[in-house]
Amino acid sequence: MSACPACDHEVIDPSQRFCSQCGHDLGRKHATDELDGLVGKVVDGRYKVLGRIGAGGMGLVYRVEHVRMGKVAAMKVLRRDLADDAQAAKRFVREVEVVSKLEHPNIVQTFDFGEWRGLLYLVMELVRGEDLAAIVRRDGPLPLSRALPLFAQVCEALEEAHLAGIVHRDLKPDNIVVFRRREGEHVKVLDFGLAKLRERPELGEVTGAGSLVGTPYYMAPEQVRGEPVDERTDVYALGATVYRVMTGQPAFPGDSPVAILSRHLTDPVVPPSERREGLPLELDHLVLKAMAKDPANRFASARALREGIQDILARRLANPEESQPLPSWIEKPQTGGDTGASDSALTAVEVPGARDDSDLASRLRREDVDAFESRLMWRRRVLRLAVPLFLVAAGWGGVRLLQRPERAGPTETEPNDSAATANLLPNGTPVFGHLREPHEDGIPDFDYFRVPSGRTPRTVLAAVSGLPDLNVVLELYDVTGALLLRADGGGVGRGEVLGPVSAGSGEVFVRVRPLWLEGNAAPLQASSAPYALTVTWGRPDRARELEPNETEAQASSLHAGLALMGHLSHSGDVDVFSFEAAPGGAFAVSLEAGGALELVLEGAVLKRKVAAAPQVVGEPFTVPETGRVSLQIREAGRKKNATADRTQPYTITVTPVP
């Protein structure tokens, strides 16, 4: 008995030309064959390939070990022809970037991807369990009490993905992994969004359709017709999966993918209870509704399907033998169809063990990767600085004369769209730059600049001029990539002021970008004008607030008689200040606002809220027994003030009252 090279499905009849599971031509060499030589190699300098786990129409799946952390993960390597296809490669990056942001206990996490020697790969969580297809092959149809809780978990995974705008497109038993935890069986769903990457699938060579993506046994009619898909397409596929798991048979058997697909379009679904005795009428209605040929007649969402599943569970577990009225979600059943199985999905599952949480520490997680990459960036920068110093100490001072020193210039130098290519900044001198056309993937132009490390802790103050056609955002990051502060309150045509921020003695990075929410459309064109960025760093200035200071724990210190200058960096920003003096002392606090910004001064010691717009106001107070006074400044009103110029500072002063 052999196996299909595309999907590992068992081929019982040696004379069979096409795989009954995925439609692959069994007489033709598969595009994944060349990937088998990766075992033992180190991919991209990070992942040692330990062995092959599984296969799919898009490539192979390996068990890998991170060479620096010693933790294991699953790696999918795409077929060479997909990697060579520029459009497929772009879709790969775009889809994986979206999918990698999914974080749900029922979704397998993806936390790294890249290109190595012409091969595209992605690294994901290694799940030690068994997929539903294998369980049904071994055990036969599952009992209702075991299967329905699993399907409810699948629905929860779909709900999370659909909220993010992701349709799975290839949901089937092979993509649902079951493993055990202390509280019982748990589900993880594989391959979200990846089926979309394959624009020219092998299934198309069999069916004559060049854009089909899915698995024939589970493919919705709109997929068969090449029409747009939405979350109801996944509802259909899950209905077909429920059918297969509960009856042990596909809803629409067939001798070829073409025959199966045509039955999805034309044939009514035989109720599951007619294929397996003992299944309740409610399950028939649930499956028929989920598999309605018209998406409008299906459950409207994965949540609605989950509620139907949970309703059946509650009824059957409470009174398994008692006849009960049908639940309210049951309507006149609409018939639909079911399909076979495509080869688009890859399996990221190891041979199951008794438990899944016995060796969690040995498996790679997203937080492991994030922490490692942050440390790695730091080490690279330390080495870049340390090597010349080492050579000088060793008597190789002349070597430095041969190196081209990094200089801070008056204009930005492209590319500078990441911390690794950040331009060195001059201290206190303007640098002029342009926000250029968005990249091909729709991501807008980001400009990174670097503040060099110093010997002592310092503060960083940054200001950028406005652009007539873009809303500019100014951000400050530390060397690990953590956001220290963001200024985005100015609006189109206005500049931004950020800080001063306590930045320690290490490197920090300033990023200039247009206002853009990840996942939304980028600006359609480059800015017509340059911006001017001025960054100043040095010892803390007692006459300026120190950001961040949005809580009492972060409060900036006020000193009697010394005016302190500050900025509200964005709409909704709150600046907190503290003042210490002998209990019972009498003082007055004054606030002067700038830039037509209406401010409110609040504090427990004040008799009322004090407004400044922009005149100077004074309010007396008495220092309480604690000897500490807390004051805060915020913008008046809850709505954003479009006319406010937040680059203009306010001034707060505390003075003694005789």
Q: Does one domain contain both 569 and 528?
A: no
pLDDT score, position 239: 97
| Residue 391 neighbours by CB under 8 Å, 6+ apart | 397, 399, 400
Residue where a domain terminates, one of 512, 538, 564: 538
**Is the separation of the CB atoms in 164 and 115 below 8 Å?**
no
User: Does residue 547 lie in a domain region?
Assistant: no
User: Does residue 544 lie in a domain region?
Assistant: no
User: Does residue 545 lie in a domain region?
Assistant: no
Q: Does one domain contain both 390 and 446?
A: no
CA 38/CA 36 separation, integer angstroms? 6
Q: Does one domain contain both 518 and 619?
A: no
Supply the residues annotated as catalytic.
170
User: Does residue 420 lie in a domain region?
Assistant: yes
CATH code, domain carrying 467: 2.60.120.380
How far is C-alpha 498 from the geometric centre of its chain's CA atoms? Answer: 27
Q: Does one domain contain both 208 and 341?
A: yes
Please, what is the Cα angle at 134 between 131 and 135, to 5 degrees?
A: 85
Q: Does one domain contain both 534 and 579?
A: no
**Burial degree of 163 (CB within 10 A; 0-12, 13-18, 19+):** middle
First-to-final CA distance of the chain? 99
pLDDT score, position 185: 92
User: Does residue 32 lie in a domain region?
Assistant: yes
pLDDT score, position 307: 94
Q: Does one domain contain both 63 and 197?
A: yes
Mean pLDDT by 10 residues, the chain (658 residues): 56 56 52 63 89 76 87 85 68 71 86 82 87 93 94 95 86 92 87 53 31 73 89 96 96 88 93 94 95 95 94 73 55 42 38 41 57 47 39 36 59 86 92 85 83 86 90 85 80 86 86 71 69 92 85 86 85 86 90 75 77 69 88 71 67 89
| Residue 375 neighbours by CB under 8 Å, 6+ apart | none
| Residue 162 neighbours by CB under 8 Å, 6+ apart | 231, 234, 301, 302
Q: Does one domain contain both 253 and 133?
A: yes
Residues present in the chain in total? 658
Q: What is the number of domains present in the chain? A: 4
pLDDT score, position 156: 95
Strand partners, 575: 633
Residue where a domain terminates, one of 513, 538, 563: 538
Q: Does one domain contain both 7 and 86?
A: yes
Q: Does one domain contain both 51 and 186?
A: yes
Residue where a domain terminates, one of 497, 512, 538: 538
User: Does residue 169 lie in a domain region?
Assistant: yes
Q: Does one domain contain both 78 and 100?
A: yes
Residue 464, domain extent: 410-538
pLDDT score, position 267: 94
**Is the separation of the CB atoms in 566 and 544 below 8 Å?**
yes
What is the per-residue burial (b if ≥16 Cβ within 10 Å, else e) of 102-129? bebebbbbbbbbeebeebbbbbbbbbbb
Taking the complete model, does pTM exceed 0.85, yes or no?
Answer: no
Q: Does one domain contain both 503 and 563?
A: no
Q: Does one domain contain both 529 and 586?
A: no
Secondary structure string (H, E, C) spanning 485-533? EEECCCCCCCCEEEEEEEEECCCEEEEEEECCCCCCCCCCCCCCCCEEE
Tokens 């989950």, residue? 306
User: Does residue 543 lie in a domain region?
Assistant: no
pLDDT score, position 516: 66
pLDDT score, position 339: 35
pLDDT score, position 485: 86
DSSP per residue, 391-417: HHHTT-HHHHHHS------SB--S---
User: Does residue 235 lie in a domain region?
Assistant: yes
